[in-house]
Amino acid sequence: MIVDGQEEDRRTALIIEDNEDNRVLIVSLLQWGGYRTIARATGQSGYEAALGERPDLILLDIQLPDINGIEVLRRIRASRINGAIPIIAMTSYAMAGDRERLMAAGCTGYIEKPIEPTRVLDQIREILGGTG
């Protein structure tokens, strides 16, 4: 949205997802919800985008083709941008203990796939404490 000739400040979400259909769906949902989006298909390119873009939120798939999402998470948390960037695992990992393991590794939240498009923004807002 343009306000007084300038783009209104919007939160930026980085989506790191290798499946093109999932990536397009998540990007569309977040844009509809008012987020500016950056999308990457590999762990390494997602990590580099996180360092370069410093997004307000990261949605991270765990099963990626190069380095897995847990390694991406570890690298981001060990980097200069660690700060308080919320990182939400969005994954089909649904075995007992996976959510807890990802949260202990540094994730802010966990959303299971397949996602419910009508609930994703609500889930993100819940995870972010209503500030999303």
Write the CA distances from 30 to 1, 68, 113, integer angstroms.
15, 23, 16
Over residues 70-125, the pLDDT tens digits come to 999 999 999 988 767 999 999 886 677 888 889 999 999 989 888 888 888 998 88
| 27: in domain | yes
User: What's the whole-number mean pLDDT along residues 52-73?
Assistant: 94
Assess contact for 15 and 115: CB atoms under 8 A.
Answer: no
Beta-carbon-side half-sphere exposure of residue 19 (alpha carbons within 13 Å):
13
Measure the CA–CA gap between 17 and 15, rounded to whole angstroms: 6
User: In sequence order, what DSSP letters do the residues of 57-78 get, joined into one string?
Assistant: EEEE-S--SSS-HHHHHHHHHH
| 2: in domain | no
Measure the CA–CA gap between 87 and 71, rounded to whole angstroms: 13
| 1: in domain | no
Over residues 25-43, the pLDDT tens digits come to 999 999 999 999 999 999 9
Task: Domain of residue 42: give its range.
Answer: 9-127
| 132: in domain | no
What are the φ/ψ torsions at residue 2 (nearest 5 degrees)? -100, 125
Please report the pLDDT score of residue 29 as a whole number: 95
Lookup: tokens for 129: 């404490």
Q: How many domains does the chain have?
A: 1
| 66: in domain | yes
What are the φ/ψ torsions at residue 55 (nearest 5 degrees)? -70, 165
Give the CATH number for residue 114.
3.40.50.2300
Token pair 């007084």 is found at 4
